[in-house]
Chain A
């Protein structure tokens, strides 16, 4: 990879030069492994999801999709080296503010800047184990949606804005991943950091 490009990436991230180089190597090896077709410059959704699952222990398909979209800043359905390093920077070294922003991005999908009631329902759809009847489970989920809205919708407009989200999470950090895990767990985080350093 051309040198100035890396430099630019370094400037925007919390990693050291070494680490970035390392990440980029890793990226390329992943791309190579995932894609036989050489014309592809990045990771597509399936490949990325596989990585999220195997490396970061994520399980929820829907959320992994959302994480993919959050990584994919330019919306080309493919994650390039820059997006990769930037995303991982938040993932592994992100400050609280960065993580906050990242999570919010994962949770709002349609791009209007709000997390709507329907979206919340969608995300919590599988959060209750199937109980006696579907109807009952649905009712339970609706209840959970109500609870979260009541908790987080400070301006009472029926949807969660970034301001709402930020305020609620700052009050209780447990709410950071309120609609499902979209960040690596602390344990995994540490391991991956070591891995990044070790691969060099």
Chain B
């Protein structure tokens, strides 16, 4: 360890006094290895751990005496170990903040005590004890030369043969091993680091020099060596610094940061202490992390640099051919290619790790970038155009390989962004900018030109440019991003603020298309596009209103956007759009006007549909008087209109207010009517709406009265459209909660179809199908039907799933079926009961509760229930443990199971069960309904269990609940129960008295 510490650990260069370990990856690795070694020492080498050091290791610790526990004598400011040496001195002595440790065992324990601060402690220890090996083993052990040390040690050991020196030798060997290990490790680490050499550094600097100078577009203001003299080896650092691996020093002035004085060394590039004003001397001490090269360093230090760098790279390849030194650039490029590849990978890693931080940064960058782009404006594009044309072919050839790499990297990113936006639409997808160095499609340049005309043209030119832009394939992401990346979004949104109707229309037509892209949506919101669009909703131009509403419908697909719409009064205006159709319907205008009004209302509904996914918006729509308007629109026969209208209602129906209003506005009738439509999407939305509303009994009855059950049942037969199937089965599920409806469904032969849907369906369909069967099977005929159709097997199969909603429904359905003894036999044969039992262990309380409910009929109906339960190891324990749950649903169901299976329980469990039940004080009333306790008490009496002291204590301990409940039972009309309860109480009282008596005597 000595050699490793002196040779490979990186110590700060400053001064001579207390030198500290630098925070470098290598040092960290070394420290970790040492910590691992010391930590495990006490277990691996218990003998050697007791070896007492020649000198103690001393350092200032950050640990608090209170951290020490058993094995130590702790006072306020001192800690002594109970472990002592032969003279009775403690092996660990802490007197805040100084600590002295004299054995590896104690070191080990200290690190364990330090927990997450162990690295700090180890660092402090090593910094304070620069030569720990000497302190541990004594001076003579360390003075020997490395190569012969083993021999020397052996010599020494053989000379004096006492056991202590044997241990000492072992310790020495172990430390030696660690030293070797550390050296090997650091060697590996060093070989991983990229070594810079004078040539690469020179190339980088020359390259950067070429792109530096005055003006906005350069990457740096200036970059210069501190010394003009170049040694023959290519270094510019003075020889005494060259031995430290330093190559040269550079003064860099980025656009946005102060001048940086940078050291380029073989290990990498870092910020040094800077050039002193008076003497021009460089302070060589490292002041920053080490970066692998100059470009990476500058990218980290200067945002402007990294921004302009990425812009430059696309032009770089061609401009290089104009440069005087093609050779250097060639090397530079190759290196850059590799770097970039690495950078990309790193970036992606980072992205995943700290998405949130990145987001903020990105937004900042975005803003900066945009500024840059704006300033860049028109002129720049023109200047580079001729060059670009000339060199296009050339560029493609030379950068072919590069593009391939980029493409693949981009693909990975694409996958990433895709998956994240799929998971949760509200999650912000990683912003992906088409970097200037990417493979730019020809559309990019064309769109850039058009945006130029948008910026610099009058109304006529603007309309032509807009019209031409619309002819691009705006559904294609390259075009969407191209518009944004050349600054088109800002212009398009600015156009919305003008008075030119045609420009607004043209702009909205484009925005409407490109806002299908999630990134563009966010950019539109970031650029403040929503308030402007909301304002347009007031325009007298109907087509303008429509376009604005449609675009809002596209943009408001995520939470922030929906909130923005609401905050700018958009909801009220959108609701007002719904009114258009009504007001103009009264005067008998021409049909043309009518159609346009309907279109306005349709677009309004479309936007409301998007907005209604936020709860606050649902409320806002209601307050703006949206419900009657929606109800009115529901009476129309335009499918295009009905889909967004029903869609909005369906989204909003999650709110109680809406469900009541939907009932009041007689909307159900129209929903049912539209179930019969030809349009699948409309059917789906109607079914969804019914699903949402049918929690309410009256609504369920309304669906039946309006003849909605039959179309629902018949829609079951079409299983290709899974979304619709899920909606339809959902509606059937909720409707079948009413018995009349369940009967109707049987008439319509829906039960058979549902059973058929138990296999090969996506989970969202299965949940609903099983839910529906669970409700239907509350009826005898349906239960029989399910059994006859062979529904039990697939149901039991579903018991092994993991989706909790599905499990809740499946257990319910199985439980409902098990009421039938015949079905029960089948379930039992299919191993369903065992599966139900195992579900009691499911972590989710709803599943537990549902499984427990399902078990009741199972046990009641099984002939050898007792056997069955006993067979299950720990079944009873499980049940009783469940009584400790604090979920009332679980408790109710479990205690119900308990009461059904009273005979199965041992006495202790029973008493515990009762008291647990009673502990559940708040819900005693509900509990009484389940009649769970009474049988328990009865049983208690029958076996005179309450005379058992332990049981009484259990019951009594659990407080008033039990007694109260028992008192209530005395009032019961059941004589036996009265007696049992009274007996129980008297036993409890007697016990309490006995305790009191014992206390006072």
Question: Cβ of B379: which chain A residues have Cβ within 8 Å of it?
Answer: 132
Contact (A174, B541) CB under 8 Å given A129-B457, A151-B468: no
Judge whether B458 and A127 touch: CB under 8 Å.
yes
Mask of A176-191 contacts with B, CB within 8 angstroms, 1/0: 0111110001110000
Contact between chains at B456 and A131 (CB < 8 Å): yes
User: Does the CB pair B467–A174 fall under 8 Å?
Assistant: yes
- Using known A-B contacts A124-B461, A178-B464, determine if residue A131 contacts B501 with beta carbons closer than 8 Å: no
Which residues of chain A come closer than 8 Å to B466, judged between CB atoms? 174
- Contact indicator per residue, chain A 111-130, by CB within 8 Å of chain B (1) or not (0): 00000000000011011110
A128 touches B453 (CB 8 A): yes
Q: Interface-forming stretch among A7-15, A64-72, A141-149?
A: A141-149
Name the residue of chain A whose CB is nearest to the CB of B509.
A174
Cβ-defined contact, B460 with A140, below 8 A = no
Q: Tell me which of A131, A132, A144, A186 contacts B464 (CB under 8 A).
A: A144
A175 vs B506: C-alpha distance when bound (angstroms): 10
Give the distance in Å from the alpha carbon of A186 to the alpha carbon of B466 in the complex.
20
Closest A residue by C-beta to B503: A174
A183 to chain B, nearest CB (A): 11
A147 to B466, CA, bound (A): 11
Q: Which residues of B contact A123 (CB under 8 A)?
A: 460
B716 at the binding interface (Cβ < 8 Å): no
Fill in one digit per residue for B354-397: 1 if any A CB lies within 8 Å of its CB, else 0.
00000000000000000000000011001000000000000000
B459 at the interface (CB under 8 A from A): yes
> Which of the four size classes fits the interface of chain B?
20 to 34
CB distance from B617 to the nearest CB of A (A): 32
Per-residue CB contact flags for chain B residues 415-454 toward chain A (1 = under 8 Å, else 0) read 0000000000000000000000000000000000100110
- In the complex the two chains form, is B453's CB within 8 Å of A131's CB? no
Interface size bracket, A side? 20 to 34
Interface centre among A132, A174, A177 (most CB of B within 10 A): A174
A124, A143, A151, A185: which contacts B460 (Cβ < 8 A)?
A: A124
- Does B465 touch A at the CB level, under 8 Å? yes
Residue A136 at the chain B interface, CB threshold 8 Å: yes
A143: chain B residues within 8 A (beta carbon)? 449, 453
Contact of A131 with B378 at beta-carbon distance under 8 Å, contacts A151-B471, A185-B501, A186-B541 already known:
yes
* Residue pair B382, A136 in contact (C-beta under 8 Å): yes
Q: Which secondary structure dominates chain B's binding surface?
A: helix
Instruction: Determine if B463 is an interface residue (Cβ-Cβ < 8 Å).
Output: yes
Find the residue from A126, A128, A147 having the highest chain B CB count within 10 A: A147
- Indicate if the CB atoms of B501 and A144 lie closer than 8 Å: no
Cross-chain contact B460 with A181 (CB below 8 angstroms)? yes
Please give me the residue from chain B that is nearest to A180 by CB atom.
B460
Task: Check: B502 CB closer than 8 A to any chain A CB.
Answer: yes
Q: Which of B493-542 contact A (CB under 8 A)?
A: 501-502, 505-506, 540-541
A126 / chain B contacts, CB cutoff of 8 Å? 458
Neighbouring A residues of B505 by C-beta, 8 Å: 174
Q: Which residues of A have CB within 8 Å of B467? A: 151, 172, 174-175, 178
Q: Which residues of B contact A177 (CB under 8 A)?
A: 460, 463, 502
**Closest chain B CB from A104 CB (angstroms):** 16
Contact A128 B449 (CB under 8 A): no
- Render A156-200 as a binary contact track against B, CB cut-off 8 A, 1 for contact: 000000000000000010110111110001110000000000000
Instruction: Name the distance in Å between B510's Cβ and chain A's nearest Cβ.
Output: 11
**Bound form: Cα–Cα A177–B470 in Å:** 17
Contact B460 A127 (CB under 8 A): yes
State the CA gap A180–B452 with chains docked (Å). Answer: 19
Complex Cα spacing A147 to B465, Å: 8
Tell me the nearest residue of chain B to A147, going by C-beta. B468
Chain A residue nearest to B543 in the complex (CB): A173
Top 7 A-B pairs ranked by shortest CB distance? A127-B461, A147-B468, A127-B460, A180-B460, A129-B456, A127-B458, A128-B457
What are 23 A-B pairs at a CB distance below 8 A? A124-B460, A124-B464, A127-B457, A128-B453, A128-B457, A128-B458, A129-B457, A132-B378, A132-B379, A132-B382, A140-B456, A144-B457, A144-B461, A147-B465, A151-B467, A151-B471, A174-B466, A174-B502, A174-B506, A175-B463, A178-B464, A181-B460, A185-B501
- Interface residues, chain A, with chain B CB atoms under 8 Å away: 123-124, 126-129, 131-132, 136, 140, 143-144, 147-148, 151, 172, 174-175, 177-181, 185-187
List residues of chain B with CB under 8 Å of any chain A CB.
378-379, 382, 449, 452-453, 456-461, 463-468, 470-471, 501-502, 505-506, 540-541
